């Protein structure tokens, strides 16, 4: 499908923001400014971007431990995201959640999840509430990796979503690595989307580096969901460029292997290459300097976000029991 040049540039901006955000986080983690667990989305930017571009603010997403990209793509405030990752009181979760539990309910981002496969049922439940109880046309998206596709929670959520034609969209980020395990050693199928057949659920495979292809799949799935026709399974073939978490020595794969696959699957270089020539996605082309301008602006934003985070206070100690019960 074709989109306007503005839309294409919007995609690019989001992807650059994610890339810059993650690059900055990685840097700050490695020099000890950010503690805890941090999982980076580098290389998978086109997935969150393409999917979330097809959603409204009132739609929901359930994210994963690798959630910064989803959060940014859904439109969360980047300053407050960064502050949360630093554990500051100005963070989206007032410093209680951190990277792995980042959330912004104001834009329908129902949270990253420290439990692999913890998001399916929450997303299906939100879909159930919206369709069957609150009677609106909001849709829920759940992102999950190839590793998480082996959790029983997937099975239970997929079955009910299909049985009740819930507006749940299952977005599989097939990045080929379940933390340190190559997916094929523990997963019985080549295309995880084959599992959709077991629930009478339509499925589509998208090239995870091609934001347009992901977007097109998402638009179709969202239409189907809003029309009451039930869930869709979108498998995005992508690649996890970084280790499972920042600091992962990656003993389980070689540098060469990573370099090669990163190059093959990088959504930003693909975008640069494709948009600067005549292509089937927009009318005309995007000039290199236009792209450069977007990249520069993104860098700028992230620098500001970090300054905001650094200059923010830690939460007041007396806040440690707050936000538990009402």
Among residue numbers 61 through 80, which ones bind other proteins (CB under 8 A)? 62
* By CB under 8 A, residue 226 contacts other proteins: no
- Region binding other proteins by CB under 8 A among candidate stretches 20-28, 40-48, 284-292, 314-322: 314-322
| Residue 317 touches other proteins, criterion: CB under 8 A | yes
List strand residue ranges (DSSP E) for 32-123, in order.
Answer: 60-62
Query: Exactly one of 5, 10, 151, 301 binds other proteins (CB under 8 A); which one?
Result: 151
Site for other proteins contains 324 (CB under 8 A): yes
Q: How far is the CB of 267 from other proteins (least distance, A)?
A: 25
Minimum CB–partner distance for residue 258 and other proteins (Å): 14
CA distance 154 to 81: 28
Encode burial over 197-228: b for 16+ CB neighbours within 10 A, e otherwise.
eebebbbbbbbbbbbbbbbbbbbbbbebbbee
Binder of other proteins out of 60, 215, 281, 308 (CB under 8 A): 60
Enclosing H/E stretch for 236: strand 232-237
Q: Which two tokens stand for residue 83?
A: 């502050």
Site for other proteins contains 186 (CB under 8 A)? yes
- Residue 261 CB contacts under 8 Å (≥ 6 apart), including other chains: 176, 239, 241
Q: CB 53 → other proteins: shortest distance, Å?
A: 22
Shortest spacing between CB 219 and other proteins, in angstroms: 22
2, 30, 35, 311: residue in contact with other proteins (rule CB under 8 A): 35
State the nearest-atom distance from the C-beta of 174 to other proteins, in Å.
14
Q: Tell me: does residue 178 bind other proteins (CB under 8 A).
A: yes
For every residue of 133-197, DSSP letters joined together read IS-----EEEEEETTGGGSHHHHHHHHHHHHTT--EEEEEEE-SEETTEEHHHH-S-SSGGGGGG
């Amino acid at each position: 499908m074709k989109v306007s040049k503005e839309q294409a540039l919007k995609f690019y901006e989001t992807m650059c923001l994610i890339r810059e955000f993650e690059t900055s986080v990685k840097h700050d983690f490695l020099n000890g400014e950010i503690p805890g667990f941090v999982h980076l989305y580098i290389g998978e930017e086109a997935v969150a971007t393409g999917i979330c571009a097809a959603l409204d603010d009132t739609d929901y997403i359930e994210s994963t431990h690798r959630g910064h990209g989803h959060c940014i793509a859904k439109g969360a405030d980047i300053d407050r995201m960064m502050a949360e990752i630093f554990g500051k009181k100005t963070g989206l979760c007032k410093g209680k959640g951190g990277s792995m539990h980042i959330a912004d309910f104001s834009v329908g981002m129902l949270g990253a999840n420290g439990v692999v496969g913890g998001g399916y049922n929450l997303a299906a439940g939100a879909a159930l509430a919206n369709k069957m109880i609150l009677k609106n046309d909001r849709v829920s998206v759940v992102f999950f990796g190839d590793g998480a596709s082996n959790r029983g929670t997937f099975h239970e959520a997929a079955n009910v979503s299909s049985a009740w034609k819930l507006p749940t969209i299952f977005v599989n980020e097939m990045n080929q690595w379940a933390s340190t395990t190559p997916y094929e050693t523990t997963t019985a199928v080549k295309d995880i989307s084959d599992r959709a057949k077991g629930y009478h659920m339509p499925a589509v495979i998208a090239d995870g580096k091609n934001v347009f292809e992901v977007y097109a799949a998402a638009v179709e799935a969202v239409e189907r969901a809003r029309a009451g026709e039930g869930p869709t399974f979108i498998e995005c073939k992508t690649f996890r460029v970084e280790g499972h978490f920042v600091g992962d020595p990656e003993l389980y794969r070689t540098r060469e292997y990573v370099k090669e696959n990163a190059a093959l699957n990088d959504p930003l270089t693909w975008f640069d290459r494709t948009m600067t020539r005549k292509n089937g996605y927009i009318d005309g082309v995007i000039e290199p300097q236009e792209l450069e301008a977007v990249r520069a602006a993104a860098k700028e934003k992230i620098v500001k976000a970090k300054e905001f985070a650094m200059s923010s206070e830690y939460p007041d100690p007396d806040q440690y029991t707050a936000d538990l019960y009402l």
